[in-house]
Amino acid sequence: MRNSKGVTSRALWTMGLLAAMLTASLVGTAQVAGAAPNPTGNNGTIKIDDTPFDDLPNNEPHVGCTFQVDFYGYDQGRLFADVRFEAHKPTLSPSGDQVLRTDRVFIGEDSNAGGGSEAGLDASRTYTLTFGDIVPHKIQGFHVKLTIHAQGSRGADVKHKVFWVTGCEAATTTTTTVGATTTTAGGGGGGGLGGVTSTSLLGGGALPFTGANFLPMLATGLLLVLVGVAGLVASRRMRAR
Could you state, in order of their start, the residue ranges of all structural domains in the chain?
2-36+211-240, 45-199
Q: Distances from the Cα of 28 to the Cαs of 14, 21, 212, in angstroms?
A: 21, 11, 11
| Percent of the chain's residues with pLDDT above 70 | 50
Of the listed ranges 22-31, 164-173, 222-231, the least confidently predicted one is 22-31
CA distance 102 to 126: 13
- Decide which of 178 and 135 is more confident: 135
CA distance 194 to 171: 10
Mean pLDDT is highest, among 26-30, 74-78, 194-198, 211-215, for 74-78
Q: Distances from the Cα of 74 to the Cαs of 7, 38, 44, 81, 191, in angstroms?
A: 56, 8, 4, 10, 29
CA nearest 105: which of 131, 82, 85, 139? 82
CA-angle at 235, arms to 231 and 241, nearest 5°: 145
CA distance 210 to 152: 23
Q: Write down the pLDDT at residue 109.
A: 85
- List, in sequence order, every residue forming a beta bridge with 148; answer none if it has no partner: 83, 159
Q: How confident is the model at residue 101 (pLDDT cuts 50, 70, 90)?
A: very high
Q: How confident is the model at residue 8 (pLDDT cuts 50, 70, 90)?
A: low
